[in-house]
């Protein structure tokens, strides 16, 4: 993941000893397990040591750590030595100042040899530290605190010691497993967070050295109409430390500041990107130096794929061993942003089939929300709890005065929907004078309602008006396109038949003209005239502005 520049720096052996470096970077837990068993005169010993960084702040998290394992079999007839290293996952949580720590899973592959009957052969095995680990280890938030647990598992006896190095602090947000802290960010911008570390060991006599580097950063980005990433540069911090014990004792450490951004797009609800960054200034022992135009930090990085939803995390772990040098990498990438659209239906329970209205609104908007990579939430507000949402629709039974010959108004352009006028709609003007369509019709047709109170089609008609109102909030204007959600008026061809009119008003509609505008508005959270109603006030707006 890093370029040759980073590897070259490590070969200069800059910083502190392996465990001491962690104390400077962030709190961590050292797990040491010793197990023994004796079967038929054969003694088996296992010694495992792991390191689990737990971040700085008191946020629950699941992350990965590293572990080394040595296994010895000793008997007069058989000898075996196996060793290996790998990663394990663990979970931390916090309560009343204490840390709860639990190993969840790990697979440490062991390799070595078996010597018996004068013959020596290669062999391998696996060790899962979670198999014999205690559940919910409690650690006091004190540097150096130890918790010792005795083990009696599958014939093995021994103990595990958990030691906390460092101390958790309040109000520090960025850590390995819980980066980003807003469950519902206030804007439609997305954030990419990076946090992680690498450990290094060189055991190639005469060179004996160890070290660690860490990184954290964040970048803001948006998704355009073509689902491509439009990214701004964000700040990045890089720290490196190492310690050499041979051939010449030496310690050095430094830190750098830089910028990070990303390129890529969204495919099949997956964010596919390549990280880009550069180091601009570095603080060495002798002072701060500028890196000129910047040193490219990620050189030839592979594409990273993360599910495109708020809080998605990708753990990037690897181990590389070349000619006596072992590097273990643990990066955590996390994205955070608005991946939901909440539509609040205020007073919808006054409708006969309000559940049908809610579900058909969901189905009507589903296609556009999916294309905008948003999940649609529909909330029924009965005036008991004031729900917060992105878009609000409010249903009224109050019927403002209608002058003779005046057309009925179904929606107000701001999310207000007049239920009574939907229920009272007639092919003609009804008993009101003037005629609804300003043309003569027979008396029976005038007074005949299009919908009966129990008609499911009535609920679908109200659904279409609701979608029409949402269209206005997403920037759409009225049109006369058949089958379009933003169509207004009732065509002459359906005016003379109750069934034709009912079918026309309740048919499924789509945003045919303004589909791209709707999707872009949903992506960018661009809503207009969406009133944040006081849900305890049920008085109707007496000044309707718009007819559907």
* pLDDT for the residue 286: 64
**In this predicted model, what pLDDT tens digit does every residue of 196-233 receive, in sequence order?**
888 888 888 888 888 888 889 999 998 888 889 888 88
Q: Return mean pLDDT, the chain.
A: 77
pLDDT band of 470, cuts 50, 70, 90: very high
- In 323-403, at which residue ranges do the beta strands (DSSP E only) sit? 325-336, 340-346, 375-381, 391-396
135, 165, 157, 83: CA torsion to nearest 10? 110
- Tell whether 161 and 214 lie within a shared domain: no
- For residue 386, is it within any domain? yes
> 356 and 307, same structural domain?
no
**371 with 419, same domain?**
yes
Residue 120 CB neighbours (<10 A):
11
List of long-range contacts for 351-359, beta carbons under 8 Å, 24+ apart: 351/395, 351/419, 351/459, 351/462, 352/453, 352/454, 352/458, 352/459, 353/456, 353/458, 353/459, 354/380, 354/459, 356/456, 356/459, 356/460, 356/463, 357/459, 357/462, 357/463, 357/466
Residue 547 is assigned to a structural domain of this protein: no
Strand 304-307 versus strand 313-322 pairing type: unpaired
| Distance separating alpha carbons of residues 401 and 540, to the nearest angstrom | 12
Q: How do beta strands 98-106 and 325-336 pair?
A: unpaired
Q: What is the pLDDT of residue 534?
A: 34
Please say whether the dihedral angle defined by the alpha carbons of residues 531, 534, 536 and 542, taken in this order, is positive or negative.
negative
Alpha-carbon gap, residue 325 to 322, rounded angstroms = 5
Assess whether 351 and 469 both reside in one domain. Answer: yes
Domain boundary among 338, 371, 398: 338
Total of domains in the chain: 3
* 471-501 pLDDT, tens digit each: 998 989 888 888 899 988 888 788 777 888 8
Judged against a pLDDT cut of 90, whether residue 160 lies above it is answered with: yes
354-395 residue pLDDT tens: 888 888 899 999 999 999 888 898 988 876 666 778 889 988
Do 401 and 461 belong to one domain?
yes
Residue 539 belongs to some domain of the structure: no
pLDDT of the residue at 178: 31
Which has the closest alpha carbon to 278: 6, 525, 33?
6
Q: What is the 3-state secondary structure (H, E, C) of 268-334?
A: CCEEEEEEEEEEEEEEECCEEEEEEEEEECECCCCCEEEECCCCCEEEEEEEEEECCEEEEEEEEEE
Torsion angle, alpha carbons of 354, 411, 429, 481, to 10: -100
| Listed residue (79, 534, 85, 127) closest to 344, CA to CA | 534
Whether residue 186 sits in one domain with residue 65: no
Q: How confident is the model at residue 180 (pLDDT cuts 50, 70, 90)?
A: very low
Residues 333 and 346 in one domain: no
Report the residue count for the chain.
548
Taking the C-alpha atoms of residue 162 and residue 134, their distance in angstroms, rounded to an integer, is: 10
At residue 32, does pLDDT exceed 90? yes
pLDDT of residue 12: 36
**CATH at 105:** 2.40.160
C-alpha torsion 420→424→428→433, nearest 10: -70
> Is 441 among the domain residues?
yes
- Contact present, 50 and 86 (Cβ < 8 Å): no
Give 537 or 117, the one with higher predicted confidence. 117
Whether residues 186 and 313 fall in one domain: yes
336: which DSSP letter? E
pLDDT at 282: 84
Question: Given this model, what pLDDT does residue 538 score?
Answer: 32
Residue 533: band (very low, low, confident or very high) from pLDDT cuts 50, 70, 90: very low
Q: Of 312, 338, 364, which marks where a domain is finished?
A: 338
Look-up of token digits 């949903």: 522
Instruction: Please tell me the distance from the alpha carbon of residue 31 to that of residue 158, in angstroms, as a whole number.
Output: 13
Domain co-membership, 230 together with 333? yes
Residues 199 and 300 in one domain: yes
Q: What is the CATH number of the domain that holds 427?
A: 3.40.390.10
Residue 442 lies in a domain: yes
94: part of which helix (H) or strand (E)?
strand 78-95
For the cut 70, the answer to whether the pLDDT of residue 60 exceeds it is: no
Tokens 């009732």 belong to residue: 490
Domain of 125 in residue numbering reads as 27-168
467 pLDDT band, cuts 50/70/90, is very high
Q: Is the pLDDT of residue 66 over 90?
A: no
Which of 43, 37, 116, 46 lies closest to 78, judged by CA? 116
From the number of C-beta atoms within 10 Å of its C-beta (0-12, 13-18, 19+), residue 480 rates as: exposed
Kindly report, residue by residue over 276-292, the tens digit of the pLDDT.
Answer: 888 888 887 666 666 66
Q: What is the DSSP letter of 426?
A: B
Give the model confidence (pLDDT) of 415-456 as tens digits.
Answer: 888 888 888 787 764 444 444 445 554 455 556 778 888 889
Kindly provide the b/e burial profile for residues 153-180, where b requires at least 16 CB atoms within 10 angstroms of the residue's own CB: eeebebebebbbbbebeeeeebbbbbbb
pLDDT of amino acid 498: 84
Q: What distance in Å separates the CA atoms of residue 38 and residue 472, rounded to the nearest whole number?
A: 77
What is residue 367's predicted lDDT score, i.e. its pLDDT?
A: 92
% of the chain beyond a pLDDT of 70? 76
Residue 174 vs residue 370, higher pLDDT: 370
Indicate whether this model's pTM tops 0.85: no
Q: Looking at the domain assignment, is residue 543 inside a domain?
A: no
For 398-417, how does the pLDDT look when each residue is reduced to its tens digit (9 = 90+)?
Answer: 655 444 444 555 777 778 88
Q: 494 and 347: one domain?
A: yes
- List, in order, residues 6 or more apart from 286 with CB less than 8 Å away: none
User: Are both 294 and 372 inside the same structural domain?
Assistant: no
Residue 156 banded pLDDT, cuts 50, 70, 90: confident
For position 227, what pLDDT does the model report? 87
Over residues 140-150, the mean pLDDT reads 89
Domain final residue, candidates 338, 357, 383: 338
Residue 16: pLDDT band with limits 50, 70, 90: very low
């Amino acid at each position: 993941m890093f370029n040759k520049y980073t590897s070259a720096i490590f070969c200069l052996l800059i910083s502190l000893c392996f465990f001491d470096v962690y104390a400077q970077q962030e709190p961590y837990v050292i797990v040491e397990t010793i197990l023994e068993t004796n079967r038929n005169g054969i003694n088996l010993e296992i010694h495992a040591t792991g390191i689990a960084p737990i971040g700085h702040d008191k946020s629950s998290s699941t992350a990965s750590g590293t572990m080394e394992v040595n296994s010895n079999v000793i008997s007069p007839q058989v000898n075996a030595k196996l060793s290996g290293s790998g990663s394990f996952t663990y979970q931390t949580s916090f309560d009343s100042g204490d840390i709860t720590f639990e190993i969840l899973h790990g697979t440490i592959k062991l390799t070595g040899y078996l010597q018996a009957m004068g013959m020596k052969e290669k062999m391998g095995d696996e060790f899962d530290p979670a198999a014999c680990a205690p559940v919910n280890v409690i650690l006091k938030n004190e540097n150096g605190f130890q918790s010792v647990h005795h083990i009696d598992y599958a014939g093995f006896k021994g103990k595990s010691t958990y030691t906390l190095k460092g101390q958790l602090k309040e109000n520090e947000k960025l850590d390995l497993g819980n980066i980003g802290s807003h469950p519902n960010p206030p804007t439609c911008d997305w954030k990419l967070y990076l946090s992680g570390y690498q450990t290094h060991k060189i055991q190639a006599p005469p060179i004996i050295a160890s070290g660690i580097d860490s990184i954290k950063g964040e970048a803001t980005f948006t998704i355009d109409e073509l689902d491509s990433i439009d990214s701004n540069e964000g700040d990045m911090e890089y720290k490196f430390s190492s310690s050499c014990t041979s051939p010449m004792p030496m310690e050095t450490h430094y830190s750098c500041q830089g910028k990070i951004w990303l390129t890529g797009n969204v495919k099949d609800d997956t964010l596919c990107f390549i990280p880009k960054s550069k180091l601009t200034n570095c603080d060495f022992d002798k002072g701060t130096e500028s890196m000129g135009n910047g040193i490219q930090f990620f050189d030839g990085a592979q594409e990273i794929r993360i599910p495109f939803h708020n809080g998605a995390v990708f753990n990037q772990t690897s181990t590389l061993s070349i000619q006596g040098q072992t590097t273990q990498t643990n990066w955590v990438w996390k994205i955070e942003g608005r991946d939901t659209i909440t539509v609040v239906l205020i007073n919808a329970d006054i409708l006969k089939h309000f559940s049908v209205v809610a579900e058909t609104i969901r189905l009507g908007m589903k296609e556009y929300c999916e294309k905008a990579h948003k999940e649609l939430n529909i909330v029924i507000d009965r005036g008991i709890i004031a729900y917060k949402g992105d878009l609000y629709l409010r249903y009224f039974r109050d019927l403002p005065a209608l002058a003779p010959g005046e057309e009925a108004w179904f929606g107000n352009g701001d999310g207000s929907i007049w239920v009574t006028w939907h229920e009272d709609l007639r092919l003609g003007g009804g008993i009101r004078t003037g005629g609804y369509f300003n043309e003569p019709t027979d008396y029976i047709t005038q007074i005949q309602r299009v919908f009966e109170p129990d008609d499911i089609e009535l609920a679908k008609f109200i659904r279409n008006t609701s979608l029409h109102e949402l269209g206005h909030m997403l920037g759409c204007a009225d049109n006369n396109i058949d089958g379009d959600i933003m169509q207004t008026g009732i065509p002459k061809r359906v005016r003379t038949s109750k069934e034709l009119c009912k079918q026309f008003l309740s048919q499924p509609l789509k945003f045919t003209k303004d589909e791209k505008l709707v999707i872009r508005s949903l992506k960018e959270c661009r809503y207009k005239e969406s009133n944040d109603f006081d849900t305890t006030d049920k008085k109707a707006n007496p000044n309707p502005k718009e007819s559907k």
